[in-house]
Chains A and B, each alone.
Chain A
Amino acid sequence: MQRMLWCLCILLLSQVLPAQPELEKLFQTQLIMAENGSSVQFPEGKFYLSNTLWLDGKKNITLRGAGQGKTVLSFINQKQGAEGIKVTNAQNIVIEQLTVEDAKGDLIKTQQVKGLVLRDITAQWTGKPKPTNGSYALYPVQCSQVRIERCTAIGASDAGIYVGQSDSVWVTDCVAKWNVAGIEIENTTNAWVWKNKAFDNTGGILVFDLPDLPIKRGGHVKVYDNLITRNNFRNFAPPGNIVGKVPPGTGVMILATNDVEVYNNKIWENKTASTAIVSYYIAETPIKDKDYNPYPSQIYIHDNLYSMGKRMPTWKSKLGFIFWWKFGKRVPHILYDGIQNPDWVDTDGELKQGYEICIQNNENGTFANIRADKLGLFKGKISKDRKPYDCKL
């Protein structure tokens, strides 16, 4: 009897949805034919897709699943196209309430989209974090008016939530874990990153400006009310990538960006650099882009709550090793690489107005200017004098 029931059950299940290739075709057809202003509903269930699901050139479209973990789009058997879901050249697009997994490249990539909401999405690579995982879980690039909320990004071999070359961006109420970078804002202007949890990544939240890109200058970034903790995971980025140089134990890293405010965050238990303010030179990669500015400026770190515990910084990066050598278990929380544009410094050696770095009112926020350009195991002059940086912006 039980056997019969099982058979019946399997029979019924197999009737519920058409065969997977047919379903994949249906999904893709729906995306191609979706009328502006309509929504596409993905049913509950786990679906294995062989190709990118691609939406192009549409306006006011919602792609909606039955909920995270309920609608699961798995790209583990992907044959073509590097992304899971891709949206290009579109306006006012919402993607929500689904799980996307195991794409060969990025899980959700959106390019040239004006008005984008990614909401209640789990984007993950299953299994142990590994270098063969794709680069970005959620990846808006060259977009504007982007809202990423209540999303979870896991296992990216570059960044879990990565917003690149975009403008007007909110990232809030998200969770990023087991990525190389939890949340990364790159060459992006007017980004607010708040109330997120970034933990167990190699680096928690990164704000970078990189060379060689069409959109050169990011800035006006606020990072606040986040919990950024235990980002001590080994760096599993494939070598050659800039995030491959982020030392395990990095909480917040600001690289070569202008106008970044980091405040009211809990930055706990990141063993190497709770907060690092660095120039692109720290990456020790030659710069060929003539229009690129490699120095950070107008950085304001205030009212954060720091704690590090007593842990050794990582040995697995040159910088980490030097920290371990110089500081042992007492690595300062806020590190500045001290590599400065000579044009931005006045005769007293202080940064001129418009280029300041201000650090104020942080709880437990010990500070060091490591003068990275002169730093070595047996040389260098680390300065813990925070007076030049005691300012408001």
Chain B
Amino acid sequence: MIASYKTGLVLLIGVFLLFQGFLTESEPAPKMQLSAYGFFLGPLADLKPASGVFPYEVNAPLFSDYAEKARFIYLPEGARLGYHPDGSFDFPDGAVIIKNFYYWKDARQPEMGRKILETRLLLKENGEWKALEYLWNDSQTEAVLEVAGASFLHQWVNAGGKKQEITYIAPNLNQCKGCHSYDGAFVPIGVTARQLNRIEQGENQLLRWQREGRLQLPDGFAPEQAPRLADYRLAETDLNAAARGYLDGNCAHCHNPHGPASTSGMFLEYNQTEPERIGIGKPPVAAGRGSGSRKYGIVPGKPQESILLFRMESDDPGIRMPELGRQLPHAEGIALIKNWIKNME
């Protein structure tokens, strides 16, 4: 019987690949190995971008159990991104968003090296996005396609010098859509003006891409007038802006009127202005024990009475938020939101 199940699994994957390969001819088959795409030059683990691949950084990153992320975009030759003030930028067919998740072996000493655990790809094909997940081997020479997700132990030393261990969970393809969803359609999250409008290496990232022919900005585009999330990691950031940036980057991909958490009536986009939509004085709807016996999403001045903070602090899968991609509480994020609520009138 073991054999038959395994055979079944292999067959299923086989059928899936055949399907991808033959029946929908215009859609290229997913490659079994990350190296086969040719996104990177030299040793794969160096993540040195090949031609057509360029890095990007975001203002308010999603917390992922303290994993670091190396982000890239691949554009077919001659193709450009289209600017959008609110939602995701427009991507041409054939474009790929590449996100590598890694940990420093010792976060105090990055020179000791890193371990890349997974690479997530979003591929734009025939006007639609699809996700693929690649898991890295221990020797860091290759990453292999994995559709059903995986979990494994990972250890590292954190920035405080403490040894950390988690059961790292790489998502299955459906879980990708648990966050990457807008009215039920698969969408990228981080490639928006508000996330990308930032200075990188002394130059505005969007203006540079325009200069390099990778992005078409509207005439008269001025970065200071365009949407921008505050970088909550910087100490000098205004408290309210930092908190709203954090909530946008960590919650609003689901908590918006078109996202998977539309059922909750709690919307955390950076430009949401209605207090009860952010959770101020808003009773829970279907939070169950996620409410932690607290009455409202946010009680101004009282972080310890706010459900929002309770769910950020929890590591129970039935309580914690975000639901996916976080097992550890994010101490820095919790401190920020706590401070924000405490200072709220």
Selected from A54, A55, A104, A162, the residue in CB contact (under 8 A) with B318 is A104
* A167 in contact (CB, < 8 A): no
CA distance A135 to B281 in the complex (A): 22
CB distance from B272 to the nearest CB of A (A): 13
Known A18-B6, A242-B283: A164·B293 in contact at CB below 8 Å = no
The answer to whether A26 touches B16 (Cβ under 8 A) is: no
Q: Which residues of B contact A26 (CB under 8 A)?
A: 5, 8-9, 148
CA distance A238 to B282 in the complex (A): 16
The answer to whether A89 touches B184 (Cβ under 8 A) is: yes
Q: Which residues of A contact B33 (CB under 8 A)?
A: none
* A82 in contact (CB, < 8 A): yes
Chain B CB within 10 A, most for which of A18, A26, A33, A286: A33
The answer to whether B151 touches A238 (Cβ under 8 A) is: no
Binds A, one of B67-75, B173-181, B206-214: B173-181
* A127 in contact (CB, < 8 A): no
Selected from A23, A54, A104, the residue in CB contact (under 8 A) with B316 is A104
Q: Which residues of A contact B294 (CB under 8 A)?
A: 240
Selected from B167, B172, B265, B319, the residue in CB contact (under 8 A) with A54 is B172
Q: Mark B161-196, 1 if CB is under 8 A from A, else 0.
A: 000000101001111011001001000000000000
* A241 in contact (CB, < 8 A): yes
Selected from B9, B16, B19, B169, the residue in CB contact (under 8 A) with A79 is B169
Considering the complex, which residues of chain B in the window 2-43 have a beta carbon less than 8 Å from any beta carbon of chain A? 2, 5-6, 8-9, 12-13, 15-16, 19
* B150 to chain A: closest residue by CB: A25
CB distance from B255 to the nearest CB of A (A): 12
Q: Mark A36-54, 1 if CB is under 8 A from B, else 0.
A: 0000000000000011101
Q: Which residues of A contact B173 (CB under 8 A)?
A: 32
* B317 in contact (CB, < 8 A): yes
* B47 in contact (CB, < 8 A): no
Known A81-B323, A212-B282, A285-B283: A17·B316 in contact at CB below 8 Å = no
Q: Which residues of B contact A82 (CB under 8 A)?
A: 317-318, 323
* B324 in contact (CB, < 8 A): yes
* B222 in contact (CB, < 8 A): no
The answer to whether A79 touches B317 (Cβ under 8 A) is: yes
Q: Which residues of B contact A78 (CB under 8 A)?
A: 317-318
* A9 in contact (CB, < 8 A): no
* B234 in contact (CB, < 8 A): no
* B160 in contact (CB, < 8 A): no
CA distance A19 to B25 in the complex (A): 37
CB distance from B265 to the nearest CB of A (A): 4
* B287 in contact (CB, < 8 A): yes
CA distance A164 to B289 in the complex (A): 18
Q: Mark A165-206, 1 if CB is under 8 A from B, else 0.
A: 100000000000000000000000000000000000000000
CA distance A223 to B288 in the complex (A): 25
Considering the complex, which residues of chain A in the window 201-253 have a beta carbon less than 8 Å from any beta carbon of chain B? 210, 212-214, 237-242
CB distance from B308 to the nearest CB of A (A): 12
Considering the complex, which residues of chain A in the window 1-46 have a beta carbon less than 8 Å from any beta carbon of chain B? 15-18, 22-23, 25-26, 28-33, 35
The answer to whether B285 touches A212 (Cβ under 8 A) is: yes
Known A26-B8, A89-B184, A135-B287: A105·B317 in contact at CB below 8 Å = yes
Selected from A35, A164, A240, the residue in CB contact (under 8 A) with B307 is A240
The answer to whether B174 touches A31 (Cβ under 8 A) is: yes
CB distance from A258 to the nearest CB of B (A): 19
* A279 in contact (CB, < 8 A): no
CB distance from B160 to the nearest CB of A (A): 25
CB distance from B257 to the nearest CB of A (A): 6
Chain B CB within 10 A, most for which of A30, A105, A164: A105
The answer to whether A17 touches B291 (Cβ under 8 A) is: no
Q: Which residues of B contact A51 (CB under 8 A)?
A: 149, 151, 169, 172
CB distance from B173 to the nearest CB of A (A): 5
The answer to whether A239 touches B293 (Cβ under 8 A) is: yes
* A34 to chain B: closest residue by CB: B12
* B147 in contact (CB, < 8 A): yes
The answer to whether B284 touches A29 (Cβ under 8 A) is: no
CB distance from A198 to the nearest CB of B (A): 19
Q: Which residues of A contact B319 (CB under 8 A)?
A: 104
The answer to whether B265 touches A214 (Cβ under 8 A) is: yes
Q: Mark A138-172, 1 if CB is under 8 A from B, else 0.
A: 01011000000000000001100010110000000
Selected from A103, A112, A165, A240, the residue in CB contact (under 8 A) with B284 is A240
* A387 in contact (CB, < 8 A): no
Known A31-B174, A56-B177, A288-B282: A240·B287 in contact at CB below 8 Å = yes
* B317 to chain A: closest residue by CB: A104
Known A26-B5, A80-B324: A32·B167 in contact at CB below 8 Å = no
Known A104-B317, A240-B307, A289-B276: A54·B289 in contact at CB below 8 Å = no
* B1 in contact (CB, < 8 A): yes
9 closest A-B pairs by beta carbon, nearest first, are: A135-B288, A104-B318, A240-B291, A89-B184, A54-B174, A212-B265, A239-B293, A238-B289, A29-B148
Chain A interface residues toward B at CB < 8 A: 15-18, 22-23, 25-26, 28-33, 35, 50-52, 54-57, 78-82, 88-89, 103-106, 111-112, 131-136, 139, 141-142, 157-158, 162, 164-165, 210, 212-214, 237-242, 285-286, 288-289
| Beyond A139-B286, A142-B263, A158-B286, 19 extra complex contacts between A and B, CB < 8 Å | A17-B2, A26-B5, A28-B149, A29-B12, A51-B169, A51-B172, A79-B317, A82-B317, A105-B288, A111-B260, A111-B263, A135-B286, A135-B287, A212-B276, A213-B265, A214-B265, A241-B288, A288-B276, A289-B276
